[in-house]
Amino acid sequence: MKLEGSLVREPGERPLPREMRLLPPRSRGRPRAEYRPRVRTVGDVDRLRRHRVPAYLLTSEWVSEHGYPVRFAPWLAVPEELSGKIASDFRLLPVRDEDALRAPGFPELLTLLLRFDPLAARVVAVRNREKIDPHELYRRVRNEGLERAATKVRFQEFSPALPKVGSPLPKDELDWILRNNPPLRSGS
């Protein structure tokens, strides 16, 4: 507990002499007001983005569009610096490179998936091999520090320059996962 006291001048009283008054230091410019944005809906995420806050909602629909039919509760991807300052009903996914969230594309989808479901990232990468830029994938994986997860699911096949950290899953297990997760049919 902290005890705070103050002197209040009554109407009609004379103020203390200037040399006896200790005023708090003033800062120049507009005072900073910190706040915690509350994000509960997709509209809240859009509102954040309109105010240039790099946040992105990773949804199962975005993953399904790339050939991996899956259902999961959305994840709110935000920069690491903001992860403790946002109150959200969505699960938070901290990202080191905030520029990646400004206009996320396919490499960002793969790196976001590597964070919480590396096997899904592998299936999406195999089914969309033509969309992968090996240099951009390398840069994103290295910026996020996901070399171990990338090695586990053999991302070196898509970006040969990625360093191998740890041991990869056996190739036959990865092929089994790919076979047992059929892509969406175009008519359904």
- The residues spanned by each domain of the chain are 38-179
Average pLDDT, the chain: 84
Of residues 18 and 153, which shows the higher confidence score?
A: 153
Percentage of residues in the chain with pLDDT exceeding 70? Answer: 84
Q: What is the pLDDT of residues 23-48, one digit of tens each?
A: 666 677 776 667 678 888 898 899 88
Q: Does the pLDDT value for residue 116 go beyond 90?
A: no
With cut-offs at 50, 70 and 90, classify the pLDDT of residue 3. Answer: very low
pLDDT beyond 60 at 103: yes
Those residues with Cβ within 8 angstroms of residue 18's Cβ, 6 or more apart along the chain or in another chain: none
Q: Does the pLDDT at position 155 exceed 70?
A: yes
User: Looking at residue 77, what is its pLDDT?
Assistant: 93
The predicted pLDDT at position 94 comes to: 92
Residue 31's pLDDT is: 67
pTM for the model stands at 0.74
